[in-house]
Amino acid sequence: MRVAIIGSGASGIAAAYYLKQASITDFTLFEKSDDLGGTWRDNRYPGVACDVPSHLYRFTFAPNAEWTRRCSPGAEIQGYMRDVAKQIGTFPKIAFGHEVIEAKFADGGWDVTTSKGPQGRFDAVISASGALHHPKMPDIEGLDSFAGGSCHSARWDDSVDLTGKRVGIIGSGSTGTQLTCALAEIAGTLTLFQRTAQWIMPLPNHPIAEEKRKEYRDDPAKMDGYYHYLASRFNEVFGDAVSGHNPEAYDHMVEACEENLRASIADPDLRAKLTPDYKVGCKRLVLSDGFYAAIQRPNATLETGAISKIEPQGVRMEDGTLHELDYLIYATGFHAHSLCHPMHIAGRDGRVLADEWADGNYAYRSVAVPGFPNWFMIGGPNSPIGNFSYLMTAELQAKYVVSLIEHASSGVTVEPKAAVTEAYNAELREAMNGTIWVSGCDSWYFDKQGRVASYPWQFSRFAEEMQAPDFADFLIGS
């Protein structure tokens, strides 16, 4: 078997590990950048950190006793990804500077072309390119007219020093809140342009003492036990609360968010501006222990009015107010549903994946699409994302995908049956109707067809589904 892996972030690393475990060693990871990693390579803005506990945000096959905080800074996670890639021998398998442009299925295999030309024939392809890597800019007049410096949060300029500067941040989700916490301490003035208030769950991000790190070094079994404890708490309590499967935990979560707002914001006008008009969990929850304090600093301003346009001097509001700025940051997220974009993926009988997904992305259990034999995805449509540990999702899917590739190693092709895939997606859409995500808010979970691209069931069901393929659901070709 010769396997192509698209991307060298967490999904690609997990795929490489499990291919090796299956004694499939002829594979290449095609990486468009000059460094491995996805999310934590691209997002280097001040204050960037994971909001999943560090000892849960790791691979089961690569425990790490050296995390320095309860929730790790982005650079520390990126360092972890590099270390894991070295440990499992992935670096020599990565083709850096190779952006996959096209993959065509013909005569039982895939012809892959990158930005550096044709790369030959592969028996299977794993798309591990991620969902959150195409930056989304706001639709505001005059973006290019601003005379100061600017960037999207995922395209941070490391040379920029914002000390004493007049800084504006457009966007108040997880990224906007993290930037606010980091920059309010150094900026001359900071203005946060908030379109929608966020529910914020308090999550103290305390340092992990050296004594505790030594304890985990000396007793890996104890560290592993803590991983499984966190997985249980995060998935069965927090995750199930968000997805509507643990009402009692949900009530506690609502109470914690509301009390956090009441206790942290004394000014009734500011509290009103920061109070969402939708249910807790409808949007992805923000976890922070510093945002409310940061936005109340004397140099910080929360602007909730509508933006009219960007001008050379700054941001003009619809009421005529001009916020003069030196630097403007777009914390406006990503095109989360542009999976596999802009690659041209042509499957059996010339079927094009972009055409198949024109009315919305779909897949069999998030990992495969009818008509695309031996084409597999990690982080595909309706994968458990959002308030889950994505590394758990990626690792479970990687093992499942490798099981399919092992079956194909006998010289056959594997693709899901169309009827089974449609039945699965119909069940998924029906289950989504009962979730908090459709309770009356607009979020990045919604695709352009108005459907929620998340996972509506308990994480325990997902883990069970990923244990082993049911080959009765697949067409096996020669």
pLDDT along the chain (478 residues), means of 10: 96 98 98 94 96 95 97 96 97 97 96 98 95 88 97 95 98 96 98 97 93 97 96 88 88 96 97 97 92 98 98 98 98 86 94 94 97 97 84 97 93 96 96 89 87 90 96 93
Are residues 376 and 367 in contact, defined by beta-carbon separation less than 8 angstroms? yes
What's the CA gap between 255 and 140, in Å, rounded?
36
Residue 39 CB neighbours (<10 A): 21
What's the CA gap between 24 and 1, in Å, rounded?
7
Q: Which of 134, 1, 14 is nearest to 397 (CA)?
A: 14
Kindly state whether residues 355 and 440 are assigned to the same domain. yes
Q: Is residue 106 one of the residues assigned to a domain?
A: yes
Kindly state whether residues 387 and 277 are assigned to the same domain. no
Kindly state whether residues 320 and 453 are assigned to the same domain. no
- Tokens 């090796």 belong to 20
Q: Report the CATH number that the domain containing residue 271 is assigned in CATH.
A: 3.50.50.60
Query: DSSP class of residue 154?
Result: G
Q: Which of 360, 370, 476, 463 is nearest to 416 (CA)?
A: 370
Kindly state whether residues 321 and 172 are assigned to the same domain. yes
Domain boundary among 312, 330, 348: 330
Kindly state whether residues 470 and 343 are assigned to the same domain. yes
130: its two tokens: 């991620």
β-strand partners of 76: none
**Going by DSSP bridges, is the β-strand pair 344-346/327-330 parallel, antiparallel, or unpaired?**
unpaired
Kindly state whether residues 271 and 396 are assigned to the same domain. no
Q: Is residue 255 one of the residues assigned to a domain?
A: yes
Kindly state whether residues 98 and 169 are assigned to the same domain. no
Contacts 24+ apart (CB under 8 A), 183-188: 183/46, 183/47, 184/294, 184/295, 184/297, 184/299, 184/300, 185/294, 185/297, 186/162, 187/162, 187/163, 187/299, 188/164, 188/299
Kindly state whether residues 303 and 264 are assigned to the same domain. yes
| Per-residue 3-state assignment (H helix, E strand, C coil) for 314-372 | EEEECCCCEEECCEEEECCCECCCCCCCCCEEECHHHCEHHHHCCCCCCCECCCECCCC
Domain boundary among 330, 358, 391: 330
C-alpha neighbours within 13 Å on the C-beta side of residue 54: 26
Number of compact structural domains in the chain: 2
Q: Which of 134, 38, 77 is nearest to 332 (CA)?
A: 134
What's the CA gap between 374 and 476, in Å, rounded?
10
Which residues span the domain enclosing 364?
A: 3-36+90-134+335-477
Q: Is residue 44 one of the residues assigned to a domain?
A: no
Kindly state whether residues 103 and 120 are assigned to the same domain. yes
Kindly state whether residues 272 and 243 are assigned to the same domain. yes
Domain boundary among 330, 349, 384: 330
Q: Is residue 13 one of the residues assigned to a domain?
A: yes
Q: Is residue 56 one of the residues assigned to a domain?
A: no
What is the reported pLDDT for 387?
A: 67
Kindly state whether residues 238 and 322 are assigned to the same domain. yes
Q: Is residue 18 one of the residues assigned to a domain?
A: yes
Q: Is residue 65 one of the residues assigned to a domain?
A: no
Q: Is residue 64 one of the residues assigned to a domain?
A: no
Kindly state whether residues 311 and 364 are assigned to the same domain. no
Question: pTM of this prediction?
Answer: 0.95
Are residues 44 and 153 in contact, defined by beta-carbon separation less than 8 angstroms? no
